[in-house]
Structure 1
């Protein structure tokens, strides 16, 4: 009897245990369903995803210029001011160029001269030049031979005759002076007449003798050299006889017509005659004196120079002379080019189409340093400061969207042009950023250099991938895993929740790519962060995690 009661108790206990197990199995989803009603159920779906980053920078000119001049000068004219639109080649500023223009003219003239010198060297000498050079050699040789040989008898006779004639002039002048002082008597007039008659006879004889010699020379009946000396002596005698005749006639005329008693005039005449007599005497003595070594050396040098000039003409220029002349021409040409360049540098011109941002000088001021600044207004770009963490995912050509602080609701498409090879310098900051240059598409907005710009850079893109809202992702940071709460319905039509591990991929500010764990159409729970749910995954013992974003 007692044994039977024992089995009854055991049966009751087993029945109660089975009932409790059933309650636990079927009652927990009900508790979860009640708690989950405060959350949000979302559906996993297939779509496209793009992840990116944002960066801030400033609008900059893709092309800019700070214009200077290679040399300083006084500003003559400034044609632009800040804000002026200019085209490539427009004159922005001009210096005073009068001195520069003179330098160009002088350099051009110097080039013409050097080219003429080169042409003269390259042109063969004319026959007349050769003949003149040969004549110069012959003349120099004759002068040297004359010095070495000494004077001829005819030259000595001629010089002696000149001395005698000059002495006669002195005597006559002295007589005239005495007559002027003392007056003339009959005896003096008679003596003057006799002297005139004698002078007339002497002049006639000298002329006849000279005429005879000339006739003999023309007939060719005597050696030419001998007759030449005789003719020279006869001609000198004629000159002297005529001079004495003229002096005798003058003396007689003066005595016959009376003397104005101008003693001063007679004294001057005598002084002149004495000077001429002394000169004739000195020339006579010089002729008789042998040639000095200095005279011979000078004659030899003249002959050598004349011969060198003739040889130079006959030989033509040497290769070295031609090369030197060509160098002179080239130097002159370089000087002209430099002068022209200096003149061109006297003006500042626009290197490209754009807008002037600053003009730093006024007319009359000294031009030095930066004179004009300008930018290409149709070539604007944004220089972004991008965190080094994102730099590896940015490449030239990558598309981006830019907004300006002045027009935040007007996005402007852009494209990455280049990435700076070196980090930007940032004083007092440990953040490392690199300049990224973004070109902008055309915009109707009056964009200005220096405006603040914000850019959204697309770092990665996925197409036709499984996506869930970021809030559906649960993160367990203790072991670096991710999960979602899968919502299903049991046989009683009640929601059943199951924590499913997942693998994530790309994410942006709203969605996360799921690469494994669930499929499209799955219902997922985003728990209400304000609700207390002891049955939530990871709840109670603190081993779970918080949602992955919001």
Structure 2
């Protein structure tokens, strides 16, 4: 029991000592900088370096090869959206458009005609064709009438008479000159030639006026005899032969017609007449019938196809003029007047709304959002800050084997600086902001690396107390205090040697 009475006072003393140790730890005043916790604004940022770029670029190509007739721009020219840049020849394209429009009018007319009732004249003509075809078929089936037989017989008899007459004419012409007459004329020519030969010999042996006149008379006699013989030989029987041949051909035709028309129609003739009647009846039925749904749909489809062809032709003609898709500046021209252009002909960029692109490390990219503000300075003018804003962030990492980064695009704010594409830009990306928060310098905060706890040396008169604090946002100079201090509290920056005292206030 005595041992227990001695143990209780010892335990009580130890308890008091531990309580004192867990109370306030104070230090003696030491040399150091005293700062005051204050309410202020805090901004955290990430730095990056990039380049000025154009938000829009365009490599403008012709839709199909063509000869350049006009070139409206050169490198450095400013253009407005819709301005013509390059003009290709359009003659064939205009012809294509005219043909497409003509075809559209034709198809529309066909559709209109399909919807309208047939013209009375067309119906009358179709009915007449049916009646004529029916009459022809009926005649074939019934055979010739007595009157028709009489006509066919008379035609045959007339053809026979023509042959007889042509034959008689031929015989008359052929018999008008006999062989005896021709022989007598030939003998007269031979006698005249002999007389001329003797007259020439006599004149040659003893030339005088009398012998010379005799020779001339012999020559004239020979000429007359020869002329008479030639006249007899020129009598032509070819005309009579032609007339006879023609009459014979007409007789053959008349005999064939007589046999065909009087012998009854053949099966082939009746079938042909029936087919002709069926065709005429079908044509009339088509005129009188309402258009079928299939015919209507076909006509509508043909009109629509013609409209598409017109649209295609109009589009091709429009594309023969290469136009600026947006306001900007021409950066390259790849063709000349007279050349056959194909592929890219003009390059341009939007120089009015420049952006800055910077690679941001994957560690920091999570703190960057679209719309986030930033400050940009250009290497050319490093002392001038330009307000900017995150426009968009690349969805995939840049192709960099050594480091994973994402391209962040910032839209430059208003500035009087003549910024140009390609300039180097330094960017401070504002990752977070706090307004009206409690701040202390970063140097006033101490961290326990083992536990991760943060403390500050709060000044209490001529002593300091190490108190735990919780922190929030921080930048390169200040840290937000979220717990453990109040505005106006003073903290010591520097090294102190703690002196432990027992009991509060000591």
TM range (shorter): 0.7 to 0.9
Residue in 2 that maps onto 1:507: 474
Residue in 2 that maps onto 1:289: 263
Cα distance in structure 2, aligned partners of 1:129 and 1:515:
100
Q: Deviations over 1:365-398 (max 9, x none)?
A: 5554444332222222222222333334333322
Residue in 2 that maps onto 1:265: 239
Secondary structure of 1:447's aligned partner:
coil
Cα distance in structure 1, aligned partners of 2:108 and 2:461:
108
Cα distance in structure 1, aligned partners of 2:155 and 2:372:
115
Provide structure 1 residue ranges, at least 5 long, that are not aligned to the other structure: 1-27, 185-259, 491-495, 528-534, 539-550
Q: Does residue 1:156 correspond to 2:139, yes or no?
A: no
Residue in 2 that maps onto 1:122: 115
How far is 1:313 from its partner? Answer: 2.1
Residue in 1 that maps onto 2:319: 345
Residue in 1 that maps onto 2:428: 456
How far is 1:413 from its partner? Answer: 0.6
Residue in 1 that maps onto 2:442: 470
Residue in 1 that maps onto 2:249: 275
Deviates more, 1:469-478 or 1:327-336: 469-478
Aligned pairs for 1:394-413 within 5 A = 394-413=368-387
How far is 1:41 from its partner? Answer: 5.0
Cα distance in structure 2, aligned partners of 1:334 and 1:516:
73
RMSD, aligned α-carbons: 3.1
Tell me, yes or no, if the aligned pair for 1:44 and 1:524 is still in contact at 8 Å: yes
Residue in 1 that maps onto 2:79: 86
Secondary structure of 1:88's aligned partner:
coil
Aligned pairs for 1:174-213 within 5 A = 174-183=167-176
Q: Does residue 1:133 correspond to 2:126, yes or no?
A: yes
How far is 1:76 from its partner? Answer: 4.3
How far is 1:295 from its partner? Answer: 0.7
Cα distance in structure 2, aligned partners of 1:307 and 1:461:
92
Aligned pairs for 1:218-233 within 5 A = none
Q: 1:350 to 1:162 in 2, by over 3 A?
A: same
Cα distance in structure 1, aligned partners of 2:264 and 2:429:
111
Instruction: Please point out which of 351, 354, 358 is paired with 1:377.
Output: 351
How far is 1:487 from its partner? Answer: 6.3
How far is 1:122 from its partner? Answer: 1.9
Tell me, yes or no, if the aligned pair for 1:499 and 1:537 is still in contact at 8 Å: no
Secondary structure of 1:415's aligned partner:
strand
Cα distance in structure 2, aligned partners of 1:286 and 1:278:
12
TM score, norm. by length of structure 2: 0.73
Secondary structure of 1:355's aligned partner:
strand
Q: 1:130 to 1:522 in 2, by over 3 A?
A: closer
Secondary structure of 1:460's aligned partner:
strand
> Aligned residues, how many?
417
Residue in 2 that maps onto 1:436: 408
TM score, norm. by length of structure 1: 0.68
Cα distance in structure 2, aligned partners of 1:515 and 1:141:
112
Cα distance in structure 1, aligned partners of 2:317 and 2:310:
10
How far is 1:472 from its partner? Answer: 3.6
Cα distance in structure 2, aligned partners of 1:466 and 1:119:
84
How far is 1:482 from its partner? Answer: 4.1
Tell me, yes or no, if the aligned pair for 1:66 and 1:370 is still in contact at 8 Å: yes
Q: 1:167 to 1:440 in 2, by over 3 A?
A: same
Q: Deviations over 1:70-97 (max 9, x none)?
A: 4444544443333221111112223333
Secondary structure of 1:509's aligned partner:
coil
Q: Does residue 1:415 correspond to 2:382, yes or no?
A: no
Instruction: Please point out which of 150, 160, 168 is paired with 1:167.
Output: 160
Q: 1:180 to 1:428 in 2, by over 3 A?
A: same
How far is 1:281 from its partner? Answer: 2.5
Cα distance in structure 2, aligned partners of 1:79 and 1:46:
62
Cα distance in structure 1, aligned partners of 2:431 and 2:165:
130
Q: 1:319 to 1:513 in 2, by over 3 A?
A: closer
Provide structure 2 residue ranges, at least 5 long, that are not aligned to the other structure: 1-26, 178-233, 499-506
Q: 1:300 to 1:82 in 2, by over 3 A?
A: same
Q: 1:278 to 1:521 in 2, by over 3 A?
A: closer
Q: Does residue 1:51 correspond to 2:18, yes or no?
A: no
Q: 1:298 to 1:475 in 2, by over 3 A?
A: same
How far is 1:119 from its partner? Answer: 2.1
Q: 1:424 to 1:292 in 2, by over 3 A?
A: same
